[in-house]
């Protein structure tokens, strides 16, 4: 506080120096200041700064994107489009609608939804008006949307970017701007049916993306809470112990135990009891066995969770996905808003993240989810009620696909494959071997466009034929339509297959007009 007072004093004296005498004594006798006075003061200082004219000293403009963000180049976009098509195709196959929400929300809409992670929220500058923040995920805006529209039943997907002020240097492989790809089912339904569909969707998407073998871990918040209770964890420590358990996928049990005992103050005995449970994995059988567990069976929460887990597995059997789904008591997941089933999909065979290229200035190259995990979600029955003025609840269950991680794997696969990724869909290049045929090339190209054929023409009056053929090879255009004086007088077009260099017999232009080139 000493420094604060000191600098403040200098400020005020400095400001006073800019104008004529002021009764210092009378001002100095007033004491204390309110928050709105601070606001006013800050605004005035900033205004003064603006009047003084920008930042001090010489400034060098740096040509880069913001820390933790990146551009997508055409090749990355082509891969992104392919991945999105598979995912959206699956969502549509399951009868989902889609919605979109603004990139920013009122700051208070996000307040109190993310626990400790709230510090990672990007706020907008107060430029007069509402206080806004960039969305941190798609789930809270979805809940806000449901409460605002009073919709009680919807199956929707939403693919959009979200924003987190993570330190990309510290948590390697994370971007500050990244895609989320969410599918959620809202509504009061019979138990575990929508939950099972979410898992079926994860199964379908990961299979179709062909990312290698995977597992989907399943657990339930109620089972975790019941387990903590019967192990002797005090109520107020449930959440913090939960987040320690969540580290079991990256840390050894010994280290997790140490954190529980030393940092979080559990007794060794309690920690060991937790250790026994969280080492358990299985399927429907495990749920049945735990329902007979002398301690767990006495806990109401745990029983409800285990009963639902049994039911869930019976539906998963009908969906034929149990070969990949594991009931795993160590799965915890960090977010506060989950109330029931939770799940996470992990690729068995972890593909190495690509080495950061020297040209990459931000020092990041990856994903929005932890390494290995490519999907996650769960049931959150209380979130919509937090927004509803009357606290009216809308039960929800959903899944988020870790699309950035998937992009990165697909990029590596494309890199490793000999097949070139095309960034355009052009079917034919209209070319010429002779000079002064620009007008004829433009005319034919236009006819092709009008016929719905994807066509290009070089923007040169007299391009060399070789240059035109090179363009086809570089961009993967399969066909080239070659115009010449002879062809023009005959009213035909010569068509060449770029790869085989075979020249097809002369096609009549009227044929092209009918789209017969494809």
- Minimum distance from CB of 361 to a copy of itself (Å)? 9
Displacement of CA 74 from its chain's centroid (Å): 19
Distance CA 426, CA 112 (A): 50
C-beta of 136 vs 277, nearer to a copy of itself: 136
- Minimum distance from CB of 201 to a copy of itself (Å)? 9
The phi, psi pair for 56, rounded to 5°, reads: -75, 155
Task: Give the footprint of a copy of itself on residues 368-407 (CB under 8 A).
Answer: 387, 389
Cα end-to-end distance, the chain, whole Å: 76
Considering only residues 58, 61, 236, 514, which one is a binding residue for a copy of itself as defined by CB under 8 A? 61
Contacts with 308 (C-beta within 8 Å, 6 or more apart), sequence order: 191, 192, 220, 340, 341
Q: Is the dihedral of CA 86, 92, 96, 97 positive or negative?
A: positive
Considering only residues 85, 116, 118, 124, which one is a binding residue for a copy of itself as defined by CB under 8 A? 124
Rule CB under 8 A: is residue 425 a binding residue for a copy of itself?
yes
- Minimum distance from CB of 222 to a copy of itself (Å)? 20
Distance CA 455, CA 448 (A): 7
Interacting span for a copy of itself (CB under 8 A) from 36-44, 259-267, 288-296, 336-344: 36-44
Q: In which element (H, E) is residue 220 found?
A: strand 214-220
Interacting span for a copy of itself (CB under 8 A) from 30-38, 246-254, 260-268, 478-486: 30-38
Sheet of 214-220, strand order: 97-98, 154-163, 177-186, 396-401, 373-379, 341-347, 214-220, 325-328, 281-282
Rule CB under 8 A: is residue 516 a binding residue for a copy of itself?
no
Report which of 86, 103, 118, 154 is spatially closest to residue 398, judged by C-alpha positions.
Answer: 154
Rule CB under 8 A: is residue 40 a binding residue for a copy of itself?
yes
- Minimum distance from CB of 493 to a copy of itself (Å)? 16
Burial class (CB in 10 A: 0-12, 13-18, 19+), 202: buried
Distance CA 436, CA 487 (A): 14
- By CB under 8 A, the count of residues binding a copy of itself is 137
Task: Give the footprint of a copy of itself on residues 72-101 (CB under 8 A).
Answer: 72-74, 77-78, 80-81, 92-101
Rule CB under 8 A: is residue 19 a binding residue for a copy of itself?
yes
C-beta of 150 vs 501, nearer to a copy of itself: 150
Task: Give the footprint of a copy of itself on residues 434-453 (CB under 8 A).
Answer: 438-439, 442-443, 446, 449-450, 452-453
Rule CB under 8 A: is residue 25 a binding residue for a copy of itself?
no
- Minimum distance from CB of 185 to a copy of itself (Å)? 8
Task: Give the footprint of a copy of itself on residues 193-212 (CB under 8 A).
Answer: 193-194, 196-197, 200, 204
Task: Give the footprint of a copy of itself on residues 465-484 (CB under 8 A).
Answer: 475
Distance CA 408, CA 353 (A): 7
- Minimum distance from CB of 229 to a copy of itself (Å)? 30
Rule CB under 8 A: is residue 170 a binding residue for a copy of itself?
no
State the pairing for strand pair 281-282/177-186: unpaired
- Minimum distance from CB of 345 to a copy of itself (Å)? 18
Burial class (CB in 10 A: 0-12, 13-18, 19+), 348: exposed
- Minimum distance from CB of 378 to a copy of itself (Å)? 17
- DSSP labels for 348-368? SSPPPPPPPPTT-TTS----S
Rule CB under 8 A: is residue 125 a binding residue for a copy of itself?
yes
Rule CB under 8 A: is residue 357 a binding residue for a copy of itself?
no
Contacts with 334 (C-beta within 8 Å, 6 or more apart), sequence order: 115, 117, 242, 243, 246
Q: In which element (H, E) is residue 487 found?
A: helix 485-490
Considering only residues 236, 294, 320, 505, which one is a binding residue for a copy of itself as defined by CB under 8 A? 320
Considering only residues 127, 349, 417, 505, which one is a binding residue for a copy of itself as defined by CB under 8 A? 127
């Amino acid at each position: 506080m000493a420094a604060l007072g000191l600098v403040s004093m200098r400020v005020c004296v400095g400001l006073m120096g800019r104008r004529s005498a002021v009764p210092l004594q009378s001002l100095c006798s007033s004491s204390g200041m309110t928050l709105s006075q601070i606001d006013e003061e800050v605004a005035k200082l900033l205004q003064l700064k603006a009047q003084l004219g920008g930042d001090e000293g010489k400034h060098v403009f740096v040509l880069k994107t913001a820390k933790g963000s990146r551009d997508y180049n055409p090749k990355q976009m082509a891969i992104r489009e392919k991945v999105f098509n598979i995912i959206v195709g699956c969502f549509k196959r399951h009868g989902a609608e889609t919605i979109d929400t603004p990139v920013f929300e009122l700051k208070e809409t996000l307040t109190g939804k993310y626990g400790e992670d709230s510090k990672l929220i990007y706020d907008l500058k107060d430029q007069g008006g509402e206080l806004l923040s960039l969305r941190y995920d798609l789930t809270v805006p979805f809940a806000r949307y449901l409460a605002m529209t009073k919709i009680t039943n919807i199956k929707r997907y939403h693919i959009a970017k979200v924003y987190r002020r993570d330190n990309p240097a510290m948590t390697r492989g994370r971007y500050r701007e990244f895609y989320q790809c969410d599918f959620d089912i809202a509504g009061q339904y019979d138990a575990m049916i929508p939950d099972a569909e979410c898992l079926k969707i994860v199964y379908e998407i990961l299979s179709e993306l062909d990312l290698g073998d995977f597992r989907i871990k399943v657990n339930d918040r109620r089972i975790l809470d019941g387990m903590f209770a019967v192990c002797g964890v005090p109520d107020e420590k449930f959440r913090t112990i939960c987040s320690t358990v969540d580290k079991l996928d990256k840390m050894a049990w010994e280290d997790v135990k140490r954190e529980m005992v030393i940092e979080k103050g559990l007794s060794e005995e309690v920690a060991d009891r937790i250790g026994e449970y969280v080492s358990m994995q299985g399927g429907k059988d495990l749920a049945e066995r735990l329902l007979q567990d002398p301690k767990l069976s006495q806990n109401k929460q745990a029983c409800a969770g285990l009963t639902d887990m049994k039911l869930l597995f019976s539906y998963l059997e009908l969906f034929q996905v149990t070969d990949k789904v594991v009931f795993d008591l160590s799965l915890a997941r960090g977010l506060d808003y989950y109330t029931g089933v939770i799940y996470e999909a992990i690729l068995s065979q972890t593909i190495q993240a690509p080495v950061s290229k020297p040209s990459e200035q931000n020092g990041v190259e990856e994903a929005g989810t932890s390494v290995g995990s490519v999907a996650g979600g769960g049931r959150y029955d209380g979130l919509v009620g937090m927004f509803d003025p009357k606290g009216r609840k809308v039960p929800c269950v959903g899944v988020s696909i870790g699309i950035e991680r998937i992009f990165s794997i697909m990029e590596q696969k494309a890199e490793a494959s000999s097949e070139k990724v095309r960034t355009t869909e052009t079917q034919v290049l209209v070319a010429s071997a002779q000079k002064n045929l620009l007008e004829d090339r433009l005319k034919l190209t236009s006819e092709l466009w009008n016929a719905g054929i994807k066509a290009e023409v070089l923007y040169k009056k007299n391009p060399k034929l070789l240059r035109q053929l090179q363009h086809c090879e570089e961009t993967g255009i399969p066909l080239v339509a070659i115009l010449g004086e002879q062809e023009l007088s005959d009213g035909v077009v010569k068509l060449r297959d770029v790869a085989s260099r075979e020249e097809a017999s002369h096609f009549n232009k009227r044929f092209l007009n009918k789209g017969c080139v494809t």
